[in-house]
Amino acid sequence: MTTGLQRQPLSGIRVIALEQYVSAPYCTLLLADAGAEVIKIERPQQGDPRRAIPPFAENNGKKMGAGFMAYNRNKKSVALDLKNPSGRAVYRDLVATADVVVENLRPGSVDRIKIGYDDLSPSNPGLIYAVISGFGRMPGREGPYSHLPSFDIVAEAMGGVMHGVGFADKPPSPTVYGMPDIFSGLAASYGITMALVSRATTGRGQFVDSSMYDNMISLNERMVSLHSITGKAPERGRPRGLYPRGAFATIDGFIAFTVPNEEMWRRVCKVMSRPDLVDDPRTCSGPARIENRDFLDPIVETFFKEITRKDAVSRLNKVGVPAGPVQTAEDLFMCPQLEARGSLMSVEYPGLGEFQFARTPLQMSESPEIPNRPAPELGEHTQEVLMEVLGYSEDDITRLSENQIIK
C-alpha cells in the first residue's frame, strides 16, 4: 500500500452501470476500486438477480447474496423502472452527466426502448459506451450469433476452452465458475481505460465492445495457433510435448508443476534422485515421456506420495523448478503471501458482519489504497443521486416514488 497521491486513478470519472449477474459488475468493480463513481441502475422490485442467488450472508432477517457482495462494493444503487417513459427520462438525464456507460443486458433490449448508444451519444459526444455480450454488438461488426443471449458456460464451450479440460474418456468439463465473465469484464475495463485516454486527445467517446466468445478465443490462443500452424489441436487429457505436468499427490495434499524442457526435467530427476532418467530413451524428451507414461507415472507418483506437500514444493523450488501447493479455500485465508500483499480485503457490512473478498489484483506505487465500502442495498442511493447529481427537488423525488418509478 502506498500513499503517494491523494486521488484515485479514476477519481472524477462517472460510470452508469446498467448491469446484472457477473461480467459487467466485475468490470465496474474494477473501475470503482480505481476511484470512479459507479452508479448501478437496478429494477425497483428485485434489483440485480445476483442479489437473490445463494449463498447468503444472513443475520436477524437481513441477508445479501455473497456473489453480489463480492462484485458490487464501492458502488451506488439507484432503483429505477426503465420500462416506464418517466424512468427512461431519468436515465437519460443521468447518462448526460456520465463519462461511461457499462451495459450487459440481453442484445436488443436497450435499443427497443431507445436508450442504446445511438440514442444517447448525440447528446453526450464524449460518452464511452461499453457493452459486454455473448457474441459482440458493435454496429458494423455483428455476426450471425450477435442477437443471441449467453452465459459463461456457453462462451467457454464455443471458445474451445471446455474442449481441452477434463479427461479423454469423459465429456468436456467447464473450468472455474464465471471465468469467461470475469475475463470479459477485465477486457471491458481495459477497453474503457483506452477509450478514456483516447478521449483526452480527441474529445470524443466511442463504443467499446467486449464479446465473451472473442475473449475466450483470445484466452485459448494455444488451440488457435497450434491448429493454424500444424493443423492439429490439443487433445483433452493428453498432454503434447510437456510432461510431467499437472497435480501430484503428496502425504497431505497435492502439488502442481510442469516440465517444459529437458533442463527442467534434469532438475526434477535430481529431486527424485533418479539421474538415470535424464538420458533414458524412454524419458529423455517430452514426446518420449508422454509415450512411456505407463512406465514413468508410477515413478513420479510414488516419489511424491512419500513426502509432504511443503517438502515437495521446497525441494522443487530449491533446484529451480517452479512448483506450488494446490490450495484449498482454508489455505488461501492462511497464506502469508496473500496476507503480505493485502490480497484479501475486509469489508464491513452493518448488521451482517465483516467479510473478506478478493482485492483488485493490481498494486500501484503512486496511488492510495482502494476504498472498501460495502455493496449497496437496493435503491440505497436513489434520492442522493437524483438530488445531488441531477438537482431534482424533493417534490420531484416524491412524485417519482409515488408513481413507482424509483425506490
Residues with active-site annotation = 181
Dihedral over alpha carbons 381, 387, 393, 395 (to 10 degrees): -10
Residues 127 and 207: beta-carbon distance below 8 Å: no
Dihedral pair phi/psi, residue 382, rounded to 5°: -55, -55
CA–CA separation, 169 and 329 (whole Å): 29
Place of cell 516440465: 259
CA–CA separation, 276 and 269 (whole Å): 8
Concatenated DSSP letters for 183-208? Answer: HHHHHHHHHHHHHHHHHHHHS---EE
What letter represents residue 287's amino acid?
Answer: P
C-alpha cell at 2: 502506498
Q: For the beta carbon of residue 272, count every other beta carbon within 10 angstroms.
A: 15
C-alpha cell at 27: 468490470
Q: Residue 77, SS3? A: strand
Residues 47 and 20: beta-carbon distance below 8 Å: no
Q: For residue 401, which of 388, 72, 387 has the smallest C-alpha distance? A: 387
C-alpha cell at 128: 464511452
What letter represents residue 76's amino acid?
Answer: K
Name the strand (E) or helix (H) holding 78: strand 75-79
